[in-house]
């Protein structure tokens, strides 16, 4: 009896095990096999049993010639390689797909097979020699369509989760924008009111006096001095208040350079040096208390006058 290449057999009692041995990654592996027992043949592809419904594989043999013919046909048939999962770009989708129990098929070592898979491909038809050659049987290809639909649903569910997250983020962003817009409207309203108040012109002396009353006394003194300077058309026609002259004198004594800077640059309406000199010459230079000193102390303490119960003794002039 002649066997095709890579085929061999063993015998155990009345059973003949005829198998095909192929090399896979350096190791020998049985790819196809058939068991002959009392003229009845069963076919195996690796660990799977081939159904007894294939017309091109006989199940009852009556001669050795029929056995040789069956082995040659079985050797020439291509093995169904199953189908792979298409369009899976996410491991999460693949994990969910593997957890689903399908009625049409199952996963087998990285490929998917139909429960109706024959594990062998139909031999090519002599009428259509140029027909497309498939690597999977018809049942597995039908199961692939089911996988495509399920993957599409899982992808839509994934996109739906992402869309839900985007909608929540958009809703929160709209709430934040609404709060900020309300705050911005309040600030704009307050700013508009402040600008309206600031743009109201001072058309009366009573309104201007009211503004002055809201200032500190020292600020009022400076404003009055500036107004007097603006009303005077001649430099020598200015009449300074006593309090202003006193403050100018103190400034001149404390910082002559600062006094000159403020006067020369027109920052404050300060008296000239000659006016300050005349004011200094008018102050009596005697020892002890005098009328000018008492008046100055009263102004510094916010009093218009200092009342004394006894007259002040003045030292005799030399």
Give pLDDT < 50 ranges for the chain: 303-318
pLDDT reported for residue 187: 93
What is the rounded radius of gyration, in angstroms, for the C-alpha atoms of the chain?
A: 57
C-alpha distances (whole Å) from 163 to each of 128, 148, 158 are 49, 22, 9
pLDDT reported for residue 89: 65
pLDDT reported for residue 74: 83
CA dist 214 and 211 (Å) reads: 5
Helices 138-198 and 91-99: angle between axes, nearest 10 degrees: 130
Q: Is the pTM of this model over 0.85?
A: no
Sequence ranges of the domains in the chain: 7-76, 84-200, 205-300
pLDDT reported for residue 177: 92
Task: Identify the burial level of 82 via C-beta atoms within 10 angstroms of its C-beta, where 0-12 means exposed, 13-18 middle and 19 or more buried.
Answer: buried
């Amino acid at each position: 009896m002649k066997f095709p290449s890579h085929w061999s057999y063993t015998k155990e009692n009345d059973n003949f095990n005829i198998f095909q041995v192929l090399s896979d990654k350096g190791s020998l592996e049985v790819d196809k096999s058939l068991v002959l027992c009392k003229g009845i043949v069963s076919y195996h592809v690796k660990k799977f049993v081939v159904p007894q419904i294939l017309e091109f594989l006989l199940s009852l043999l009556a001669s050795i010639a029929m056995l040789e013919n069956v082995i040659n046909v079985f050797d020439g048939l291509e093995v169904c390689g199953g189908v792979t999962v298409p369009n899976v770009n996410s491991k999460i989708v693949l994990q969910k797909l593997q957890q689903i129990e399908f009625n049409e098929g199952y996963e087998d070592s990285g490929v998917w097979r139909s429960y109706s898979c024959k594990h062998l491909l139909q031999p090519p038809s002599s009428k259509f020699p140029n027909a497309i050659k498939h690597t999977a049987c018809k049942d597995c290809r039908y199961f692939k369509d089911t996988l495509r639909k399920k993957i599409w649903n899982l992808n839509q569910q994934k996109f739906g989760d992402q869309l839900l997250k985007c909608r929540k983020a958009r809703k929160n962003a709209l709430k934040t924008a609404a709060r900020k817009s309300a705050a911005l409207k309040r600030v704009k309203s307050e700013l508009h009111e402040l600008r309206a108040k600031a743009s109201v012109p001072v058309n009366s002396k009573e309104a201007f006096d009211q503004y002055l009353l809201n200032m500190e006394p020292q600020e009022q003194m400076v404003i009055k001095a500036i107004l007097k300077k603006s009303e005077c058309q001649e430099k020598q026609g200015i009449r300074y208040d006593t309090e202003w002259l006193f403050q100018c004198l103190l400034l001149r004594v404390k910082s002559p350079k600062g006094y000159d800077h403020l006067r020369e640059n027109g920052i404050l309406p300060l008296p000239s040096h000659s006016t300050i000199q005349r004011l200094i010459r008018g102050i009596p230079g005697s020892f002890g208390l005098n009328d000018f000193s008492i008046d100055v102390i009263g102004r510094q303490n916010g009093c218009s006058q200092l009342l004394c119960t006894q007259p002040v003794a003045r030292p005799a002039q030399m």
